[in-house]
Amino acid sequence: MNQNRLLVIDDEPGIGEFIKEVAEGVGFEARITTTPDDFRRTYRSFSPTAIILDLVMPEADGVELLRYLAEDRCQAQIMVASGVDPRVLATARRIGDAYGLQMSGMLEKPIMVPGLQALLRKTSQIHNSVNEQGLSQAIAERQLVVHFQPKLTFANGAGQTIEAVEALVRWQHPQWGLVMPDKFITLAEQTGLILPLTDLVARMAIEQLAAWEEEGLRLSVAVNLAPQLLNRLELPDRLAELADEHSIDRSRLVMEITESAAMADTGRTMDILARFRIKGMGVSIDDFGTGYSSLVALCRMPFNELKIDKSLVTELHKSEEAKLIVRSIVDLAHNLGLSVCAEGTETADAVDFVRSCGCKSTQGYYISKPLAPDALRAFILSRN
């Protein structure tokens, strides 16, 4: 079977034929379908590595098919094609991203040969390097690197300091350069590699904390915990040991768990989160505002911080509703005794606004993008 398998759905057979011809020219085996039923059937039997979806079709729309693929936890690289308003294409991309799909590009109709060829080539490169075997090898050979995004803590008065960072993994790929986590975290979650990956990220983050400390820089670090790890009862002990091994005070280690993960299985999750806290580490509810937390569940969970999702914070400049929601979340969190970090502040106005709402800290491109360890150190030294 060809390594690169493209499945196309377009209600106009002529367009499908055209895409097939171009795809075969760049080394794909391609199948074309014109109806959703045929698409689903072929998807099952053909297991494509890449998919081109037409957004507007008479019998079903591309968004419905995106949902179908998301429910199947599809790992193919997905391209969306459409002749409608480019903003609709951009929205489809965001929907795919939100569903955890691998959205690799958009094709505006009429589709041009060079653009299509370039996108297909890029797609097959990503697919052929970002796979289970490659990722497993990357973990074993420490091709993964951690970048750190500073978190600005508001002090009383006008003061502000950087006391904490979030560890964000990247794959330093020998051929493709720095591959971002959205290209491989879902793969790690589906293959069980998320456990060794998280172990490695936590280890590298703690080692980095210890190295900075030797240089006179004292920081706390937050590590992301995937939902699949919330049944690993051994994790709190493992991370506490890791901190102790490097003489890092456990309170300088924070676990970030997304809102939807935290609410999914409250029994085991609560056990693990409580033990993180009992052992002295922090627990933060991540991406808050994207899930549907029940207030009762939220009250019972032993979090000490809440991070407001960037999708709300990046809307502040244009949406009164976003402002209202952010204010209400801060009030809710304070009433529950949680401190609040606003994620995704991209402008000075956004930073001012979240500060005025009572957020304790913020993280966003306005302050800094995630940085490699040396760059982060230089950034902090230059600010102070």
Q: Does 224 bind ligand C2E (CB under 6 A)?
A: yes
Q: Does 284 bind ligand C2E (CB under 6 A)?
A: no
Q: Which does 185 bind (CB under 5 to 8 A by kind): ligand C2E, Ca ion, none?
A: ligand C2E
In this structure, what DSSP letter does residue 182 have? G
Q: 132: which 2 tokens?
A: 């289970």
By beta-carbon proximity to ligand C2E, the closer residue of 20 and 183 is: 183
Residue by residue, DSSP assigns 248-312 as --GGGEEEEEEHHHHHH-HHHHHHHHHHHHHTT-EEEEEEETSS---HHHHHHS--SEEEE-HHH
By beta-carbon proximity to ligand C2E, the closer residue of 82 and 293 is: 293
Residues from 119 through 178 that contact ligand C2E (CB under 6 A): 149, 168-169
| Number of chain positions touching ligand C2E (CB under 6 A) | 22
Cβ atoms of 366 and 351 closer than 8 Å: yes
Q: How far is the CB of 345 from ligand C2E (least distance, A)?
A: 6
Q: How far is the CB of 341 from ligand C2E (least distance, A)?
A: 11
Residues from 350 through 379 that contact ligand C2E (CB under 6 A): 363-365, 370
Q: How far is the CB of 125 from ligand C2E (least distance, A)?
A: 19
Q: 190: which 2 tokens?
A: 């589906």
Cβ atoms of 50 and 79 closer than 8 Å: yes
By beta-carbon proximity to Ca ion, the closer residue of 167 and 326 is: 167
Which residue's CB comes closest to ligand C2E? 364
Beta-carbon contacts of 356 under 8 Å, excluding residues fewer than 6 positions away, are none
| Residue 56, amino acid | V
Instruction: Give the residue, chosen from 90, 112, 180, 378, that forms a contact with ligand C2E under the rule CB under 6 A.
Output: 180
* Window of 44-52, 79-87, 290-298, 343-351 that interacts with ligand C2E by CB under 6 A: 343-351
Nearest Cα neighbor of 362 from 343, 337, 381 is 343
The helix/strand/coil state of 139 is: helix
Q: How far is the CB of 187 from ligand C2E (least distance, A)?
A: 12
Give me the residues that bind Ca ion (CB under 5 A), please.
224, 256, 286
Residue by residue, DSSP assigns 156-170 as STT-EEEEEEEEEEE
Q: How far is the CB of 146 from ligand C2E (least distance, A)?
A: 7
Q: How far is the CB of 256 from ligand C2E (least distance, A)?
A: 6
In degrees and rounded to multiples of 5, residue 183 shows phi and psi of -90, -15
Chain centroid offset of residue 315 CA: 19
Residues that bind ligand C2E (CB under 6 A): 149, 168-169, 180-182, 185, 198, 201, 224, 226, 286-287, 310, 314, 344-346, 363-365, 370
